[in-house]
Structure 1
Amino acid sequence: MTDDAVLGRARLVWAALAGAPVTFASSGLDVAVSASSSLCPPGWVGVVALGGAAVATAPDDGAAGLVRRALGGLPVSALTDPVAVSGRLPVGAVLGPATLAFCDAARFRGAGAGAGAGAVAAVGAADDGVRGLLARVPAADAGEAGLDEITSLAFVVRAGPDVVAAAGYRVWEGAVAHVSVLTAPAERGRGLARLAAGAAVAAALEAGLLPQWRARPEASRRVARALGFVELGSQLSIRLVR
C-alpha cells in the first residue's frame, strides 16, 4: 500500500468522526459545525491535520465562524500548535497536540527477538490481569493509553502471574485499528511495549484494518516508529472562552 493510500484511508475515517460533512482539501482548513463531533470533547473545538490539509469541528455557528476567521490564514503546520492557535483564539484549555501515525503491512516491523520474546499471550480485554495492570499504574498513564476502551483481544506480557504490559486496539468506523498500549512503570525500557503492541498491530493488519497510533509522549512515539509507523498528522482540542 502506498503512502497516498494510507493517507486517504486515514482521512476518510477522521472525516467520518467529525459528525458533519468536512473535506481534507489540498491545503487549508475546512470547518464544520458538529455538536456530536468525535474530534474533541463535547463543546470544544477539534482540529485534525493530515498530510498538509486539516479539518475542524466547532459546537455551534458562532464558534465555527470564530475559528474560520482566526485560523483560516495559518499554515496547516500551525493549526495544531497550541502557541500559534492561542495567539489567534481565546483559548481556555487545550488537549494535545497528539501525533497521528499509521502503519501498513509493507512498513510493519514486528517486535523481533527483544526482551520477553515469545511471551505474548492473547486474552480477553476484561481479563483480570489486564484489570490488575490498569489498577497498578497512575491514572494519567491509564487514561493516556486507553486500554480500557479496546474492542480487540488484549495482547499481554507477564512477569510471573502479573501482566506487566498489554496492548490492543479499538476499531474506528470499521476501518482503523486505534492502538492502545500500557506498560507497568517499573518494567519500562525493556522493549515490552513494542512486544505487546507488535502483536496487536499484527492482528489488526491480519483483520484488514489500518493501524493508527495516537501519542503525545516521546517515549510512545519512539515505540511506534520502531514498529514502522509513520507520522502523518496531528490532533488538537481547544476549549474556547466566550
Structure 2
Amino acid sequence: MPVDPLVVRARGLWEDLAQVPVSFGPRPGSVDVVVSPRSRLCPRGWVGVVVLGGSAIVTAPTDGVARVVRDALGNLPVEAVVDGVLVQEALPVGRVLGPAALAYVSPANFRPAEAGALTVEQLPAAHPDLRALEQAAGEGDAGEASLDEVTSLAFVVREQGRVVAAAGYRAWPRQTAHVSVLTAPDSRGRGLARVTGTAAVAQALAEGLLPQWRARTPASRRVAGALGFAELGFQLSIEVA
C-alpha cells in the first residue's frame, strides 16, 4: 500500500532532526532507537520519541540510555511509546514533555476560515504588540505557541487597537513551516485562531512549504482539524532519571 505523501514528507523532516542516520521502519509497529547527543527531537540530554504513520524513531543521548530505552520500549506497542503514562511505568522518568500531536495539511485539504468582518493585519515578528499579546496570554501559553520564534510575518487581529490573536510560522528543515498561533485569554472561543491561522497557513502553502501544527491542548488540535490538518503522529520528550 502506498504511503501518504504527507507522511513521507513529515518523516523526512523528523529523520533530519534526529541528526544521525535513522528511518521510520517500513513495517507498522517498528521502533528504531539510535544514539544522538545532538538530537532535535527533544531537549538536549533527553530521549526524543516521534511516531508517524504507524512506526517510530527514538533518539537517546548516550549508549547506556539507549540500551535502557530499547529494553523498556521494546515490549510496548508503537502507539504506547508516545503515551506519557505508560512510558513512565516502563522507564525511570524525571520529566516528560508531551505528547504533542503532529498534524499536517496539503493544499487540496486546506479549509481556510472566513475572516468575515475581521481585518487581518501583518506585523514584523519582533513587533512589541506581539510581546504584549504573549504577556497577556501568560508564560505557559506563550511558551507553547512560541510566537517569538516565527520567521515569517505575523498575521494578527486587533480589537480596540490591541492585538488579540496572532499566527505565523518558523522555517524548519525540509521546507517545513512550523505554525504558531496565540489568542488572548479574554478573546478565545470566537474563531480568531482559525482566522489568523488561515492567513499563516495560506502564506506557507503559497511558498510551497509543508505546514506543521504541533499541539498538546485539545483546543489547539480542534483549530488544526477545522483548517483541514490531519494528525499523522505524536511527539514525546523524556528525561530519563
> Scaled by the length of structure 2, what TM-score is found?
0.96
1:226 alignment counterpart: 226
Matching of residue 217 in structure 1 with residue 217 in structure 2: yes
Where do 5+ consecutive residues of structure 1 fail to align? none
| CA distance in structure 2 between the partners assigned to 1:53 and 1:31 by the alignment | 12
Q: 4+ residue stretches of structure 1 with deviation over 3 A?
A: none
| Aligned sequence identity (%) | 59
| CA distance in structure 2 between the partners assigned to 1:197 and 1:48 by the alignment | 24
2:158 alignment counterpart: 158
Specify the code of the residue in structure 1 equivalent to 2:8: G
* SS of aligned partner of 1:16: helix
| CA distance in structure 1 between the partners assigned to 2:239 and 2:131 by the alignment | 32
CA shift, 1:132, in A, is 1.5
2:75 alignment counterpart: 73
1:117-153 per-residue CA deviation (whole Å, 9 max, x = no partner) reads 3x11111101122122112221101001110100111
Matching of residue 43 in structure 1 with residue 40 in structure 2: no
1:191 alignment counterpart: 191
Q: Is the 8 A contact 2:124 2:153 kept in 1?
A: yes
The RMSD of aligned alpha carbons is 1.3
CA shift, 1:231, in A, is 0.4
CA shift, 1:84, in A, is 1.5
Q: Is the 8 A contact 2:136 2:185 kept in 1?
A: no
1:88-119 per-residue CA deviation (whole Å, 9 max, x = no partner) reads 111111000000000010110111245x53x1
The 5-angstrom pairing of residues 174-185 of structure 1 reads 174-185=174-185
| CA distance in structure 1 between the partners assigned to 2:156 and 2:115 by the alignment | 16
CA shift, 1:229, in A, is 0.4
Specify the code of the residue in structure 1 equivalent to 2:57: V
| CA distance in structure 2 between the partners assigned to 1:168 and 1:50 by the alignment | 24
| CA distance in structure 2 between the partners assigned to 1:235 and 1:174 by the alignment | 18
1:236 alignment counterpart: 236
| CA distance in structure 2 between the partners assigned to 1:169 and 1:22 by the alignment | 26
1:55 alignment counterpart: 57
Specify the code of the residue in structure 2 equivalent to 1:203: Q
Name the count of aligned residue pairs.
238
| CA distance in structure 2 between the partners assigned to 1:109 and 1:3 by the alignment | 23
> Scaled by the length of structure 1, what TM-score is found?
0.95
* SS of aligned partner of 1:79: helix
Matching of residue 9 in structure 1 with residue 14 in structure 2: no
* SS of aligned partner of 1:70: helix
2:112 alignment counterpart: 110
| CA distance in structure 1 between the partners assigned to 2:95 and 2:54 by the alignment | 25
1:173-197 per-residue CA deviation (whole Å, 9 max, x = no partner) reads 1411110000000000110000000
Q: Is the 8 A contact 2:82 2:99 kept in 1?
A: yes
CA shift, 1:66, in A, is 1.0
